Chain A
């Protein structure tokens, strides 16, 4: 399958603004940062979570704990993924019982990743609250899960791809919508 760029929907400045807004919204909605933990989903969600933690520090002066979740072992599609997912470690060195958790990922699509992430979280304790923050919400839910904080809502069709690139992983900052090149459809 070959994809080409259809449109660029966010640049570096827009990503930065969205993350600042999400940080503000988290602080506003949760009232205090007590018992708050930000947990990013590997790979890009982990870096976005780190940036949100930094922004919250700037806003409220409080350093909120950061965790990293690798959901590979909780996937429901181990049999269907195109290339073999490499397992990375989950880094949650604290008990989550009674904590308020904001899960961070780059794109919210079918919600299957979120389902796996929530399942995995529950194996670390019994949080009092779990919320979801995403940079891009592209729709097409397959599970009854909704985000609490959204950087940008983007209507897409199923055969499009939302491609998030960030400095830490890709060396550049942008969000693009990619479309299938005509006549080269895989199926």
Chain B
């Protein structure tokens, strides 16, 4: 198949074939990180901007390493060091950056839809690295890559996502992605964490974590996002742990070879007990490793060939129009 997109904004708009194409490409990129010289010249001379307006370690480092391993040039901008502190608007900031001829902008923003708006405003490709409570497509892709690597398939698996579904862009992207490739998704959490009408996304809702874990192939715990709450959605962290935390006892309800996943950063002893997070079923660090491969694949597709494919199409169209007008 041919990749035709300029941007990666979310998994909602991707077709099943496109998701599988990114995962297949990422599979091929895995090997590069195991070489003696961890670098290929694919994106030599391309410029990638990391535009992070929200805190991040994993995602940022992962994107950075991915870009560097593809030999791209990288520019880092964060809100605390940018002129946005002086009152420059997002639009002005980004238009100034793109005036310096960049190829791809990776953006994380606290507002849902900010990357979508940017993608319409600027010519370079845009990758959504997390927008508010909306989507985090590369995280879901790396989760799917990890599951596919361990289970050799995605179709027919039962995936339980436990925690604050309402505020989780990771959950939303995973639900879009996993349901498209034929996995069944169960979400669980206290009712204040479950958004209304979530069933319409094709998932089953359970309000008792035990019911969600039963027979699961994959258990994905979400971080309790203390910075996004402040609304007293749960009485206390202690109570949350007692009723919804993934403990060794609860994990026994799932399949014996079930994978334990977490997008990080972990609140140890709240959503995930330390002995589960570090236990034999945990693939949390494999997720991080997969992340670099997925981001290399995304950058390669959007900035390497994808863009050329698009400009080729555009020039073919304009040639055709010229030919017709003659």
Contact = CB atoms under 8 A, between A and B. Distances in A.
A79 B309 CA distance: 8
B28 A78 contact: no
B28 A70 contact: yes
B28 A123 contact: no
B37 A123 contact: yes
Contact of A84 (B2, B24, B27, B41): B2
Given A78-B42, A125-B36, A89 B309 contact: no
Contacts of B40: 73-74, 120, 123
Majority SS of interface residues in chain A? loop
A90 B31 CA distance: 7
Nearest to A72: B42
Interface size class of B (residues with CB under 8 A): 20 to 34
Contact of B41 (A74, A79, A83, A89): A74
Contacts of A89: 27-31
B304 A78 contact: yes
A123 B35 CA distance: 8
B300 A87 contact: yes
A79 B308 contact: yes
Contacts of B31: 89-91
B308 to A, nearest CB: 5
Contact of A78 (B2, B29, B37, B305): B305
B42 A73 contact: yes
Contacts of B42: 72-74, 78
Contacts of A90: 31
Given A78-B42, A89-B28, A90-B31, A84 B37 contact: no
Given A73-B41, A74-B41, A125-B36, A84 B30 contact: no
Given A73-B41, A125-B36, A78 B308 contact: yes
Contacts of B41: 73-74, 119
Interface residues of A, number: 22
Q: Which of B25, B31, B300 has the most CB of A within 10 A?
A: B31
B39 interface: yes
B25 A84 contact: no
B25 A86 contact: yes
B3 interface: yes
B28 A87 contact: yes
Given A74-B42, A78-B304, A78-B308, A83 B2 contact: yes
B25 A87 contact: yes
Contacts of B29: 87, 89
Contacts of B2: 83-84
Nearest to A95: B36
A87 to B, nearest CB: 4
Interface string B276-308: 000000000000000000000100100011101
B27 A123 contact: no
Contact of A85 (B36, B297, B305): B305
Contacts of B297: 87
A42 to B, nearest CB: 10
Contacts of A91: 31
26 contacts: A72-B42, A73-B40, A73-B41, A73-B42, A74-B40, A78-B305, A78-B308, A81-B305, A83-B2, A84-B2, A84-B306, A86-B24, A86-B25, A87-B300, A89-B27, A89-B29, A89-B30, A90-B31, A91-B31, A119-B41, A120-B40, A123-B36, A123-B37, A123-B39, A124-B37, A125-B36
Given A84-B2, A89-B27, 18 more contacts: A72-B42, A73-B41, A73-B42, A73-B70, A73-B300, A74-B40, A78-B304, A81-B305, A84-B306, A84-B309, A86-B24, A87-B25, A87-B28, A88-B28, A89-B28, A119-B41, A123-B40, A124-B37
Q: Kindly list the 7 A-B residue pairs having the minimum CB-CB distance in the complex, ordered from nearest.
A: A73-B42, A73-B40, A89-B28, A123-B37, A87-B28, A89-B31, A84-B305
